[in-house]
Structure 1
């Protein structure tokens, strides 16, 4: 078989087609941010000159997210005005935001921790007051969400695709209605309580954001960006949802989202970096092409051999290598053995992409990173 390009290799593995070798495509955000001071396509391409691997770059659609992103340019709407106050408490920046809308004002407060404060090089903000406090806030939220039909700036996606060429794959990130939306507007604990105490309110919150992400997805698909990275880790069992709620509330939404992508002959990479063995068959039934990060114990619960048996040739498994206990804290021998084991178990028959349980972390030993890539290429050539 001829040697494939990285783009060809990733797409073939995603679709269940034959590949020349197991694709090697770890998540690299934190590691490259630490190594080069930025995470971009350029830093990925630079890193690819050091190590032979297949780049997968997850890129946003250019649509502002005023829910998750503390600092946001609201010029997309003349109907809203944003006021902000900042102060510091114990070395942590506190930001209060007040959105003025035609339906009234809505506000939240977030902690914005500095880099390296115990949660890595780029910690997420933490909300201490939520935008959605009661039903009256839903109308206000609708005003602050930008219209995807008018405000998706896909010019950057075009540029990224042109620059990437055959060296890897650009995937368009679409967050679930919970991830970076309902989970950060209402709060995960509040949503779980709403499910039991006010199911109609819960449903209306989810629908508001689901309609938004479906519209965003359709805009991207209609503009030719059909390789979708569906981010659903807020709905993971590891986030606290029961299997019953997961199956009844979230799987149907995933199916509909995947079906939309497939109508445009697109591919769907479904992201859950938590425990998933008990719902693995449910993930298969969504029709998604890829499931990542198939995290092993102790952080996750994936038995790779059993997972491979369950999905068969119906879905591609991606990820597996533990970013903390193997790559960051393990020895080069542990890294080598883990990579060899993953390829031995999941490589036969294809539909496996070697990755990581999330981004390789800042502070990971360079020797471990080198062994990871070299072992993958040495032992990942077909036939295995």
Structure 2
């Protein structure tokens, strides 16, 4: 991340919740909600795959979470839980929880006043309709548990979510994108508000001793918005967060899915230390050698093995060949971490993913 050349190319992949659940064999409800189970699971996953760091993708677990359950029953797919607040979720054995309750009505951007917006970040917008609540008194317990267990031998990464994600979560994807066109100034007002709150959260996270923070920004690629809209509605608000974190001498990097070749330089214009994902064809449009040439000396690259077409469906020979090629391209001049592009798919076999450790030891 310092853009130096290490003794060996580091290895650290982001894993889907479904993949971790299948490898760990734990209750999906407990893995999602229990801080002890979640922290232990992250540490065990690092051990299984020989990763050089741990990403803590969820934080703010409520230690008293079980007392909020009204009803819990096992199903063929996982566990169904009814909560005392009236919400119901299906916790799958191989995926993220699926909301079963009706979504509350979404506000109109024209009626949202400053007083209607939150005064602090109270949740993580994991996916449409699924939020992970952040307990204000236990925001970083999981980070502390992981650090206590792994020490400083392994890199510890926290995660925050882009203001653009909070914007889409608030208004819905379709209405949110229309707001950018029809109500650009109102949209910027909301984005600016969330950006300030996320900056505060990220700075608090810096104080917990993390080595890096990931900005999850999955919807900022070409599949959703143009480069013009990226520069207008994403860059300035992520830049505020990035500058603040770098000011604390902590690294920060952006994760954006899909086609991003048309905005690689703009992503680094936010001031982040590096970029994660860089999906190659056919999932995206980034060629590693091109990205390496364009970004050399400006920021590190964390990527970019295709989790589906290489790890899930490829043979052992395919995987090692692909990993070797990416290592040889990426390690030139330093600033490279071998990783999958997007998250490791749930059904990727353990032994296939373990080949990446072999690859960095042989060629990294």
TM range (shorter): 0.7 to 0.9
**Residue 62 of structure 1: aligned partner:** 60
Corresponding residue SS for 1:122: coil
Quick one: distance in 2 between partners of 1:35 and 1:137? Answer: 43
- Relative distance call for 1:27 and 1:224 in structure 2 (3 A) is closer
Shift of 1:150: 6.2
Structure 2: 5+ residue stretches without partners: 32-37, 71-76, 124-133
**Residue 96 of structure 2: aligned partner:** 122
- 8 Å contact from structure 2 (residues 39, 145) kept in 1: no
- Relative distance call for 1:45 and 1:218 in structure 2 (3 A) is closer
- 8 Å contact from structure 1 (residues 326, 335) kept in 2: yes
**Residue 203 of structure 2: aligned partner:** 218
Quick one: distance in 1 between partners of 2:359 and 2:255? Answer: 25
Between 125-134 and 361-370, report the one with greater CA deviation: 125-134
Structure 1: 5+ residue stretches without partners: 1-13, 65-71, 74-83, 85-90, 99-108
Quick one: distance in 1 between partners of 2:342 and 2:273? Answer: 19
Match of 2:14 among 27, 47, 58: 27
Quick one: distance in 2 between partners of 1:49 and 1:198? Answer: 48
**Residue 175 of structure 2: aligned partner:** 190
- Relative distance call for 1:17 and 1:284 in structure 2 (3 A) is same
- 8 Å contact from structure 1 (residues 55, 169) kept in 2: yes
**Residue 252 of structure 2: aligned partner:** 268
**Residue 68 of structure 1: aligned partner:** none
Quick one: distance in 2 between partners of 1:176 and 1:121? Answer: 22
1:279 paired with 2:279, answer no
Report the TM-score when normalising by structure 1: 0.75
Q: Deviations over 1:127-148 (max 9, x none)?
A: 8554323443443343685499
**Residue 236 of structure 2: aligned partner:** 252
Quick one: distance in 1 between partners of 2:329 and 2:170? Answer: 41
Shift of 1:110: 8.7
Corresponding residue SS for 2:348: coil
**Residue 158 of structure 1: aligned partner:** 144
Quick one: distance in 1 between partners of 2:227 and 2:87? Answer: 30
Quick one: distance in 2 between partners of 1:162 and 1:345? Answer: 35
**Residue 133 of structure 1: aligned partner:** 108
Figure out how many residues of one structure are paired with residues of the other and give that number. 332
Quick one: distance in 1 between partners of 2:302 and 2:215? Answer: 14
Report the TM-score when normalising by structure 2: 0.79
Match of 1:170 among 127, 135, 156: 156
Runs of 4+ in 1 over 6 A off after TM superposition: 91-98, 147-150
**Residue 74 of structure 2: aligned partner:** none
